[in-house]
Structure formats: C-alpha cells, structure tokens
A and B are shown apart, each in its own frame.
Chain A
Amino acid sequence: MGDTLKIVVLVKHVPDAQFDRHIGPERTLDRSESILSELDEYALEAALQLTDARGGDKGGNEVIALTMGGPDAANALKKALQIGASSGVHLSDEALAGSDAWATSLALAAAIRSLGEVDLVITGMASTDGETSLVPAQLAEHLGLPQLTFASSLEVSGRTVAIQRDGEGVTETVEAELPALVSVTDQANEPRYPNFKGILAAKKKKIATLSLAEVGLDAGQVGAAGSLTAVESAKPRPPRAAGTIITDEGDAGVKLVDFLAAQKLI
C-alpha cells in the first residue's frame, strides 16, 4: 500500500437553518426541509483535496461518505457523491431514531469498523442541528483513535497527519500517526459545488445500506433506549419582547446611553 488513502467522511442530513426550525411534540427535531449539513461540506472538501493530490479514485484512493438516519438521509449521501465522494454508506434502522451523542457515536463507530481498515475519519466541526461537537470526540474514543479537531488546515505526509488549529490566544500545530480522526472548521477550505459531470458520475456510484444487525449492534444499544441523556422538555425561548427601534436624528448615541443607564448596564 503506497501513498493511497482510504477516508471516511461523516455527512449529516440536517434541517436547513435558513428556515425556522422546530422541535416537535416528541421532543425531537422536525426534519423536513433538510439538507447536507454545510459544515460537513468542508470535511468532504478536505478529504477530496487529500485524495486528489494522490491521484483520486483511479490512484487507488477512496472517500466513503457515511451517514446515519432515516430514508431521507440518503439525500445527504447523494449530494456527497455528486460533489465527489467515491461511494456512500447509509446506516439506517428505525431503532436509531432519538439517539443521543453517545448512541450515535457508538453506532457510527460500529459502521466504520465494518468498513475494514480506514486511514482517516474526517468530520465537520459540529453538526448544525445538535451543535455539540460531541460526536467526533466520542467516535475517536470508541475507535481508539487520536483526534485532531477544529483543524483550519491539514496535511498528510507518509503516515503522519498534521493540522493547524486556533486555540485560545494561540495557534497550535498538532500531529498524530494514522489512523486518526480529524474535524475541520469552515476555515479549512472553500467547498466545491457539484458540477454536471459530477452529477452524472454520481448516478453510477454505490450507496450501501447497513442495518444495525449488520454492524453488530442491537436495538437496545441505540435510540432512546441506548441513550444516556433524556430531554424532559423543550420550549422555544420566550420571544424577546418587542424592542424599541429609533432612527438616528443626531442624538441616538445619547439615547443609547439613556437606555443602558435605564437597564443599569452602566
């Protein structure tokens, strides 16, 4: 095995943040109007740049897009294939619904193990719905991988992956040996769009659907049953009481300070 890479990219089908998002009576998120999470596009782009530089699919590299979720989640895979992923894997099982980060990462780890040896797992910095950034780290722990998270750039040479990341007041360089898990921020690259050729090529690419049993898990380990957290209630934040809007007539700075004083903020 020369300098080729087999990369798994996690992609998630999430509600489009451009629309109002709702939590339904079952305390789960309404998933109509969903799209491939924007933050995962940076992960896919990072994977494609690494494999393009090594001759792409023809050079023996692979970018496998992996998603977990109901039937609609396959749309995220289709988009990933159009953008350039080599193949898709869809972990789909009714029992997965309502999984928290723990159950999600357990299931994703099992799915990744079923794909054989993988050099890199690349994820976005967070999902745009759950927003916790828990899954990449929990996945790394389940798989026993070093994690290099919040990468603003990454490089693989030989069996070493190196990233740059912005810490609190510092920029850090971090290194690990492959296999490893990397999460990338929206600073890492400019994601490409699917072009006509990509859209045609995607039709020939394969999406494998895996059931829970096929990755060696049972229903009790995932979903609400396998989760370690429970949401007791979900309320829209009380709408902010209509504020005062004024148009500057030359004294708005002073009025602003009057407002701050009335609020005891100065």
Chain B
Amino acid sequence: MTEANVLVVLDGVGESLKKSQLELLSAGRLLGTVSVAATAPVGEAVLAQLRENGAAAAYVPDGADLSEYLVGPTAAWLAEVVSASEAQGRPVRAVLLDNSPTGRETAARLGVRLGAGVITDVVGLEPDGTAHKSVLAGSYEDRARATSPVSILTLKANLDLGSPAAPAPGSAAVTPVAVPADALTRSARVTGRAAKVSSGRPDLTEARVVVAGGRGTDGDFGPVEELADALGGAVGASRAAADAGWVSHDLQVGQTGKTVSPQLYISAGISGAVQQKAGMQTAKVIVAVNSDPESPVFEIADFGVVGDLFEVLPQATAEIKRRRG
C-alpha cells in the first residue's frame, strides 16, 4: 500500500495537535502520502504542525458546524472529502481515525457510504496496510485487512508503528469541502452540553501511566491520585468505584468504560474481573496492589504486591519524590 493516499481524520483539534493526533499522522505516513480532514476549521499553529508532519492537504468543513450533530453528518462530509481528494488526483486508499467511540462510529458510517471495510482497535500497523487488532478483551491479537479498495482503520493510542521515517514537509493546502445539506436533515442534534470539571491530569486513553483504584479504596482516592501525580499519570477506576460515585464514570476502565494501553498500569484495590481486564490488559507493564493474594489481577501482573494500598501507595509516592530529590 506504500505511496497510497491516506486520509487522516482529526476530530476535536485544539490550539495544537495532541500526541495521539500526531501519532495518527505518523501512522498515515507509514502507509503513504497523508492528507488531513479536520472536522472543524483549524488555526495557523495547527497548520504549521500539519506542514511539518508532511500533510499534503487539509480539508475543512464548509457551511455547517459538525459539532452540533452526532456522527452521521461527519461521515457524510468525509465521503465528500474522499470524492474531493479523488477529483484532485489523489484517490484515497485508506482512512485513519482515532479509536474513540466517536471515531469508531464515524468509521462505521463512512464504511457503509464508501463500501469500505472497517477495522477497529488497531494496536499495530504494517506498511502494506495489514493491521494488528486486539480482540476478545485483549486476550487475542488478530492480523486483519480490509478486502475493499478503500480501508478504514481506527487506531488506539500508543500504537506500535515500528520506526517510521521522519516526515518531509507538506504544503497542507487548505481546501474547504461543503457539508452536504441532506446529511443534516435526518440527524441527531446535540441540544445541550454541560462541561465536567477537569482534573488537569493527562487524558486517560492516551496517558503513558495510569493508576487505577477500585472498591478497595473504600471511597478514598487520595493515595491513587497522589501516586498518579508523582508519575505524571492519569487516574482510572473500576466500575465498582465509579458506580459508588467515588469518581466520575469518565474514569472507568474496562469493557463498558475506557480501553487504555499505557506503558504502565497500576491497579490498586481492584480484583481484576474479566470486564476490568478487558480495558487494561494490553498495558505494557502491569503492577497490582491488592490485599487478597487470590485476586485474579495477580494472574496478569508483572509485579504484584499483596498488601494494603493505604500503606503501599503512599510509601511508593514518597520514595519516587525522594529519588527525584
């Protein structure tokens, strides 16, 4: 697939590109020449980053604010972008999106529009477009490919790309593409938004370190948060902890929560039920602290401590601070 044209979809672009968005661009370069479809207009700083990262074109929506709708109109617009790219002599062979729920659903609807195969939960990518995909709650890894002329892949953060070449600068020429009006008529509209309080910690799904607490915290997430902060990591939780109202459901890791693949996952006071493992067992290194030696989490831990999290976590936090001086 090398030297194919690859469309990288960037959703929720802020003042500058996030690490996971830069990673999508690297993944795109592994497969070919990258163009970008940003779901909202982008600023000059982002354009400069896109040029540095080799983007040949940047498509932005024209005529409607896609953020007012759930995925349907975005998928319809992306289908237009694919046509526009083809009309400019750049037929798209692959579309890459992030693996968030929105990314996967946008991919799903775009797949139907383009008659393109969709592969989700991609954890590794080969230059010929073969994807490594984590399945069955992370217990299996498939190698899969789309058999259609266009393939659509949704990529997890901290993806394995081998060693991608450094980018040659691209022009990132901005091309507005109209949002098709009929896409908006039968769509779900966002009629209200209430922002939640931000913790200031890194985003859970892309964090390199996650410290997660469960029912064993008994509602006191202090030791979990302090260790996360000492490690510059994000805080996660089991469903039991989220259901108890101790932390926001946003922090839930697992089958019905977020899937994370950090370098390090520290599980504290979590038993390690299958639904919890589903969200974290692709972490590179797993550390578990649990007072019950029979807890299933120890079956997957690289380093396990049978002990009280209220003793072990604060001591570890203090030790990290001491070593850093």
Chain B: number of interface residues, binned into ranges: 35 or more
Contact A228 B115, beta carbon cutoff 8 Å: yes
Interchain CA distance A102-B119 in the complex, whole Å: 11
Interchain CA distance A171-B196 in the complex, whole Å: 7
Asked if B143 lies at the interface with its beta carbon under 8 angstroms from chain A, I say yes
CB within 8 Å of A: which residues of B?
12, 70-72, 75, 100-101, 104-105, 107-109, 111-113, 115-121, 130, 134-148, 186-196, 198, 203, 209, 231, 239, 249-250, 255-256, 263-264, 274-275, 278, 281-282, 285-287, 289, 293, 298, 300-308, 311-320, 323
A237 to chain B, nearest CB (A): 5
Contact A227 B147, beta carbon cutoff 8 Å: yes
**B70, B305, B306 — most chain A CB neighbours (10 Å):** B70
B303 to chain A, nearest CB (A): 5
Contact among A142, A144, A169, A247 with B293 in the assembled complex (CB-CB below 8 Å): A247
Given A172-B192, A245-B293, 20 extra CB contacts under 8 A: A17-B137, A23-B135, A145-B186, A147-B105, A148-B188, A168-B203, A228-B111, A228-B118, A228-B147, A229-B145, A232-B145, A233-B142, A240-B300, A243-B286, A243-B300, A253-B311, A254-B319, A256-B305, A263-B302, A266-B320
Interchain CA distance A266-B314 in the complex, whole Å: 16
Q: Chain B's interface: helix, strand, loop or mixed, by majority?
A: mixed
**A229, A233, A235, A247 — most chain B CB neighbours (10 Å):** A229
Chain A: number of interface residues, binned into ranges: 35 or more
A92 to chain B, nearest CB (A): 23
CB within 8 Å of B: which residues of A?
17-18, 21, 23, 27, 29, 39, 100-102, 105, 125, 128-129, 131-138, 140-142, 144-150, 162, 166-177, 180, 185-187, 227-237, 240-241, 243-248, 250-257, 259-261, 263, 265-266
Contact B136 A253, beta carbon cutoff 8 Å: no
| Among all A-B residue pairs, the 9 with the closest Cβ atoms | A253-B315, A248-B307, A228-B117, A173-B192, A137-B108, A253-B316, A229-B117, A141-B112, A245-B304
Given A228-B116, A253-B311, A253-B314, A146 contacting B135 (CB threshold 8 A): no
| Residue numbers in A under 8 Å from B239 (CB-CB) | 186
| Residue numbers in A under 8 Å from B101 (CB-CB) | 133, 149-150
